[in-house]
Amino acid sequence: MGNAVGSIKKVALNGFTFNVMGDSNFDHKKGKFETEPVVHSGGNTMSKKLRAQNVESVGLQCGASEAEVLKELSESLTNFDMSYTNAANDIFRAVGSIDFEGHDTEKGLATIKMIPESADGWVPFLA
Amino acid sequence: MSDENKLSKESAQKELEKFYDYYEIETEDFEKVDGDDDESRANKAIQRMQLKILKGLMKGKISFKEDDGGFIIVLHKKAGDTLEFKELDGFAKAEMSKKKSSDEYGRIFALTGKMCGLGEHAVKKLKGPELSLVEAIGTTLLMG
* Helix, coil or strand: residue A46: strand
In tens digits, what is the pLDDT along chain A, a chain of 127 residues?
456 678 888 999 999 999 999 888 788 887 788 999 999 999 999 999 988 888 888 999 999 989 999 999 999 999 999 999 988 889 999 999 999 999 999 999 999 999 999 888 899 988 7
Amino acid code (one letter) for B120: E
Nearest CA to CA, how far is A80 from chain B (Å)?
A: 7
Strands laid side by side in the B70-76 sheet:
B62-67, B70-76, B82-85
Residue B105: pLDDT band with limits 50, 70, 90:
very high
Q: What is the largest CA-CA distance in chain A?
A: 58
Dihedral sign for Cα A124, A125, B1, B5, please.
positive
Nearest CA to CA, how far is B16 from chain A (Å)?
A: 25
Query: Do A27 and A85 form a contact (C-beta atoms < 8 A)?
Result: no
Dihedral sign for Cα B114, B118, B124, B130, please.
negative
Q: Give residue B38's pLDDT.
A: 82
Please state, in angstroms and as integers, the Cα–Cα distance from residue B43 to each residue in A2, B29, B105, following that order. Answer: 46, 8, 18
Beta-carbon separation of A12 and B121 below 8 A: yes
Q: Is the ipTM of this complex over 0.90?
A: no
User: Considering chain B, what percentage of its residues have pLDDT values greater than 70?
Assistant: 97
DSSP state of A2: -
Residues of B in contact with A91 (CB under 8 A): 118, 121-122, 125
Sketch the domain layout of chain A as residue ranges. Answer: 10-34+47-124
- Residue B137: name the closest of B61, B59, B37 by CA: B61
Residue B85's domain comprises 3-143
Residue B2: pLDDT band with limits 50, 70, 90:
low
Which one of B72, B76, B88, B118 would you mutate to disrupt binding with A, by most A Cβ within 10 Å of its Cβ? B118
Phi, psi of A98 (to 5 degrees): -125, 155
Query: Do A82 and A98 form a contact (C-beta atoms < 8 A)?
Result: yes
Could you tell me where the beta strands, DSSP code E, fall in chain B?
62-67, 70-76, 82-85
pLDDT, one tens digit per residue, over A67-83 is: 999 999 999 999 999 99
pTM beyond 0.80: the answer is yes
Nearest CA to CA, how far is A18 from chain B (Å)?
A: 9
User: Considering chain A, what percentage of its residues have pLDDT values greater than 90?
Assistant: 63
Paired with B82 in beta bridges are B76
Paired with A37 in beta bridges are A46
Cβ–Cβ contact B113 with A under 8 A: yes
Instruction: Domain count for chain B, please give it.
Output: 1
